[in-house]
Amino acid sequence: MQEIATFGAGCFWGIEAAFRRVPGVLDAAVGYSGGHTQNPNYQEVCTDTTGHAEVVQVTFDPEKVSYDQLLNVFWTIHDPTQVNRQGPDYGAQYRTAIFFHSPEQEAAAKKSKQALEAGGKLRRPVATEITPAGPFWRAEEYHQRYLEKRGAASCHI
């Protein structure tokens, strides 16, 4: 049995690498979601006009890792208070987003976000959008496992 989770948290290279290290994650693919253009490419998404976010689609075994555990990873690998940016990357394609695939994922994401906000550790409000998953457009092959191919540990080298 396997499930899908989709997260946007800035530059997808580092996010993909982080999720690949989680036991129970079967695959992580980078791509684009949340926009209005059919089959966008990287150059189009970078214009900030397609409405897409850079995302990672995570395929996982729920018997080995829960969706709640994936949410915990998501919150810790980026700054969820940034609006349309992460680090030096800016634009709506770098927004913080959870694209849910079921009512259970929606409820878990909202509960997790509320718990983060109530925790009092953040200086600004959580900017993460929680929206239904739409089409996932797989990014070009040279983006898949990008950091792994380059022997790098983070998105900004």
pLDDT at residue 153, rounded to an integer = 56
Flag whether pLDDT at 87 surpasses 90: no
What average pLDDT does the structure give for the chain?
A: 92
List, in order of start, the domains of the chain with CATH numbers.
Answer: 3-150 (3.30.1060.10)
Flag whether pLDDT at 26 surpasses 90: yes
Q: What is the mean pLDDT of residues 104-130?
A: 95
pTM (2 d.p.): 0.92
Percent with pLDDT over 90 in the chain? 80
Residues tagged active-site: 11
Instruction: Report yes or no: 59 and 26 within 8 Å, Cβ to Cβ.
Output: yes
Q: What is the mean pLDDT of residues 47-61?
A: 95
